[in-house]
Chain A
């Protein structure tokens, strides 16, 4: 007595598994485009942000490395040479006429020249830059702690975010901008950096001034910064999501 061969049944099951798989795939693609998943994605992002805030204290520092860990060449990503005429004019003169404007919800709206920023107490740190694409690069940054700068101008009570307005339009599109909340802005390693590896910040890496937010991914770290604006909400800026890449579907919380 032999058992009936069940190869037909196996074929059926294998077939239904492939069909199920492609249904899942097509379904997920459709769900991605329709936006039906967005509430769940939003919930998962806010869970991530809350968990990160719970685990990482205000002071917990990103790893700092030894000089021998510095990469031979720091990789430049995004815009590497803004072609806006105004920026080109400033660059041609080594940014002597460049001023960082700090305004919005502050007591004393101010302007800082590069020399004035260099004269302020600085911090130098060798840190790892993590790109959202997956690669990492180690470099040494020198700059003014953003918290010091904010204390100079006096942040007014309703302010919740610092917005970084940049000189570049990535691929000729909208102006690049980014935002940090005050907790991350006041983190001791958050710098407005003007030097990379002991040299003046190169244009490819964001000259004359760029943000370093060491507990966030690279797209947060605005380059070619022209203006800091203190706001209570970023809904009125750009696409309303707090940053150039955020307006293109990347999440505002860039902690992972």
Chain B
């Protein structure tokens, strides 16, 4: 073994303090809240599995509906309608459960909280989690803005925009910045976090408010902002699925870019910058 090899081995990766305690606490409480909010939300949706646009529900023309129909052979089939399209979604949407004991329900039992049909209980979980999620979100956004983290870490620098194409390409190949470049969020991370934190999350709270008849009386502008209560309900649903999509991509990225290092940075705050050079597979990309 040569001397350089040995020094390479002994060289420790640079460890930085990445996430302050408030971010870490917020992240995990949030993760729990969002899981409860999504699943209890699907339970609530199941009480009237259709979405509309506008002030009220035009029952004969929903934008989306999930239902069940009997086929010619007398079998229960789940049917999802989106605009003019019709999909057979038996097993997941409309009709689900063990084959011997199919049940009519929009979202399946494994996706709702509680599992069985129980609207009043779903609502209690939803509002409890919402009371933790929304104030923490407001506090966290204030912390980002007032504490300066927004401008320091999240707002893209002008020069970064030029790298959009290459960053996108690198991400698609699941290759992530290393060394000093990993010290800061890259452009895609910044844009994603800005979108989720400052657009989708506030939107999900405000559209939730708009579904409350009391809050509509207190703040009539909510109805004007979203074009009606049923539009707000549809947007609430879309935001929830946007957050779910974010969660799935977030999970994939964490798994692909060093799961232990990422998890540790969100638990203890410490993040090891991935070593500059990967010894193998260093294709001449530049």
Q: Note all chain B residues with C-beta closer than 8 A to A33.
A: 114
B115 within 8 A of A: yes
Q: Chain A residues in contact with chain B, CB under 8 A? A: 1-3, 6, 9-10, 13-14, 21, 24-25, 28-29, 32-33, 37, 40-41, 44-45, 47-48, 52, 55-57, 60-63, 65, 69, 71, 75, 128, 130-138, 214-217, 245, 248-251, 255-256
C-alpha spacing A137/B114, complex, angstroms: 28
B215 within 8 A of A: yes
Q: Note all chain B residues with C-beta closer than 8 A to A255.
A: 212-215
In the complex, the chain A residue whose C-beta lies closest to that of B124 is A41
Segment touching A, from B40-48, B86-94, B187-195: B40-48
Q: Note all chain B residues with C-beta closer than 8 A to A41.
A: 124-125, 127-128
Contact status of A136 and B56, CB under 8 A, knowing A24-B35, A32-B121, A63-B223: yes
B219 within 8 A of A: yes
C-alpha spacing A32/B45, complex, angstroms: 18
Among B124, B229, B259, residue most surrounded by chain A Cβ atoms (within 10 Å):
B124
* Structural contact, B215 and A55, CB atoms closer than 8 A: yes
Chain B binding surface SS class: helix
Cross-chain pair count, CB within 8 angstroms: 148
Q: Chain B residues in contact with chain A, CB under 8 A? A: 32, 35-36, 39, 44-45, 47-48, 50, 52, 55-59, 110, 113-116, 118-121, 123-125, 127-128, 131, 211-220, 223, 229-230, 233, 255, 259-260, 279-280
Among B44, B128, B229, B279, residue most surrounded by chain A Cβ atoms (within 10 Å):
B128
* Structural contact, A249 and B121, CB atoms closer than 8 A: yes
* Structural contact, A256 and B212, CB atoms closer than 8 A: yes
C-alpha spacing A6/B58, complex, angstroms: 53
* Structural contact, B212 and A52, CB atoms closer than 8 A: yes
* Structural contact, A2 and B115, CB atoms closer than 8 A: no
* Structural contact, A52 and B131, CB atoms closer than 8 A: no
Q: How far, in Å, is A20 (CB) from chain B's closest CB?
A: 10
Contact status of A55 and B59, CB under 8 A, knowing A47-B131, A136-B229: no
